[in-house]
Amino acid sequence: MSNQTYTVIFYLFAAITVCSAAFVVFTRNVIYSAFSLLFTFFGVAALYVFLSADFIAVTQVVVYVGGILVLLLFGVMFTNSIMQAPQKSEVLHIIPGTLLLAGITGALLYTFYTTHGWMPSETTLQGSIVERIGFETMSRYVLPFEMVSILLLAALIGAAFLARFDKPGK
Amino acid sequence: MEQLTTIGLNHYLTISAFLLGFGLFAVMTRKNAIVVLMGVELILNAANINFLAFSKYNGGMEGVMFALFIIVIAAAEAAIALAIVINIFKIYKSVDVSSIDSMKE
């Protein structure tokens, strides 16, 4: 792939990510937000491929799009009656919110662009990293790996317990 | 022009700064609890992009492993938060975060 095509595809995915993220935030309809979030997650997954983190990109698609987004859509459908006219979500603190958005983004961009100390390493990540992730998971990160699996199990049991329906007789 | 056509660390940092800003905006201005959750997911994605970008240009695997763990934590967080939102909906018949002002039914 030539350098120019690479750049064009990068900007395409960057535009998809940022524009759909803006749409998630600025549209009033909750359903539109949820579906726009789908494009954000896919755009972010494509950026992960650009960052040569292919395994993380696949995980992003499986976990975010297949899991979290479905959960969020379930939440939207459960808490809004679909038959009822548009699912509007009201907005408050719009002026402080916009100031915060501009302030935080501007400050971060200013810091990033005025820091001249970014010196990329000689050995940047190249190619597929699946094998290296396997080695790291089973050597240096084996304790966090086991802990996070227990945390996930506990969280899912807790979520099922919290969201259960009470029996009618009680 | 050279800056724009050669994709470097700053490009990824810019995208993540925008995602963080939008996520904060959603958390701050929305009344619907589910849209607030979407804002939190945007913030987590912004953090992930930063981790992976620094990891790529540093050449190490630390950022990649951190990103993997963040995705797992985000899944757990979404499940618990949705369960809480469903309980709030059962009690208050709405998910408006500004009208939930008592700890008891």
Buried b (16+ CB within 10 A) or exposed e, A48-65: bebbbbbbbbebbbebbe
Q: Give the DSSP letter of residue A64.
A: I
Q: Could you tell me the two tokens for A46?
A: 């494509």
Q: Is the pLDDT of residue A126 over 60?
A: yes
Q: What is the pLDDT at residue B5?
A: 73
Percent of chain A with pLDDT strictly greater than 70: 91
Question: Shortest CB distance from A53 goes to which of B9, B67, B78?
Answer: B67
Q: Are A92 and B36 in contact (CB under 8 A)?
A: no
CA gap B22, B32 in Å, rounded: 16
Whether the CB-CB separation of A37 and A65 falls below 8 Å is answered with: no
Mutate to test the interface with A, among B1, B4, B20, B28 (most CBs of A within 10 A): B28
Judged by CB atoms closer than 8 Å, whether chains meet at A21 and B42 is answered as yes
**Closest Cβ opposite residue A51 in set B30, B56, B94:** B56
Q: Please state the ipTM of this predicted complex.
A: 0.90
Which range (A28-32, B11-15, B62-66) has the least confidence? Answer: A28-32
Residue-averaged pLDDT of chain A: 86
Question: Cβ A133–B83 below 8 Å, yes or no?
Answer: no
Tokens 């029996």 label which residue?
A167
pLDDT at B12 (0 to 100): 92
- For the cut 60, the answer to whether the pLDDT of residue B57 exceeds it is yes
B92 and chain A in contact, CB less than 8 A: no
A138 touching B (Cβ < 8 Å): no
At residue A84 the predicted structure's pLDDT band, cuts being 50, 70 and 90, is low
Q: In this complex, do B72 and A34 lie within 8 Å of one another by their Cβ atoms?
A: no
Q: Which of A27, A71, A129, A145 to mutate to test the interface with B (most CBs of B within 10 A)?
A: A71
What integer pLDDT is reported at residue B52 of this predicted model? 93
For the residues of A21-33, what is the DSSP string, one character each? HHHHHH-SBHHHH
pLDDT tens for residues B80-102? 999 998 888 888 887 888 777 77
Mean pLDDT throughout B11-21? 93
A45-71 pLDDT per residue, tens: 999 999 888 899 999 999 999 889 998
* Region A63-86 average pLDDT: 80
Q: Is B82 in Cβ contact with A159 (below 8 Å)?
A: yes
pLDDT tens string A131-144: 889 998 999 999 99
